[in-house]
A = this chain, B = another copy of it.
Amino acid sequence: MSEQKKTNIILFSGDYDKAMAAYIIANGAAAYDHEVTIFHTFWGLNALRKDEPIQVKKNLLEKAFGKIMPRGPEKMGLSNMNFMGIGPKLIKKVMKKHNAMPLSDLIEMAEEQEINLIACTMTMDLLGLDKIELRESTEYAGVAAYLAEAEDGAVNMFI
């Protein structure tokens, strides 16, 4: 029996459309029985945020970052044609019509398929994000641990 193939994705972007692409690829690879990991770093961490506000002790700058950054997938903007927030609404309307899954459903599907959703601890510190602000399924690791995995990946992507 051959070894299980791996797909490793670094999700750096905080754009709705790019995160959608990442999760579509991830879910697709998991369906092909790959072991799939999404390493969320920088703005990509926002995809893992819970959508309700959570009380955490933060300094002024961290508070500001926390307010400005989108709380969870459905608050994220588009990389293109965002039009001050109207773009995402339009896209989601069309997605609904075509029965395409919104990002939040794609993330739930990833959880069901046991895709490893990792948050980069170093950039969590930089953006002042706390573990209790992120989804329960989130795992935590530094970039070194991720790279140890990535070198055996059949597919590696930076999104």
| A positions within 8 Å CB-CB of B | 5, 7, 10, 12-14, 17-18, 21, 24-25, 28-29, 31-32, 34, 41-43, 61-62, 65, 68-69, 79-81, 90-91, 93-95, 98, 100, 122, 125-126, 128, 143-144, 147-148, 150-159
Contacts and interface: CB of A to CB of B under 8 A. Distances in A.
7 contacts: A21-B158, A28-B143, A34-B151, A94-B126, A95-B126, A98-B126, A151-B154
Which 7 residue pairs spanning A and B have beta carbons closest together? A157-B158, A28-B147, A151-B154, A98-B125, A43-B80, A155-B156, A158-B159
Contacts of A43: 17, 79-80
Contacts of A98: 122, 125-126
A25 B147 CA distance: 8
A61 to B, nearest CB: 6
Nearest to A27: B143
Contacts of A125: 94, 98, 100
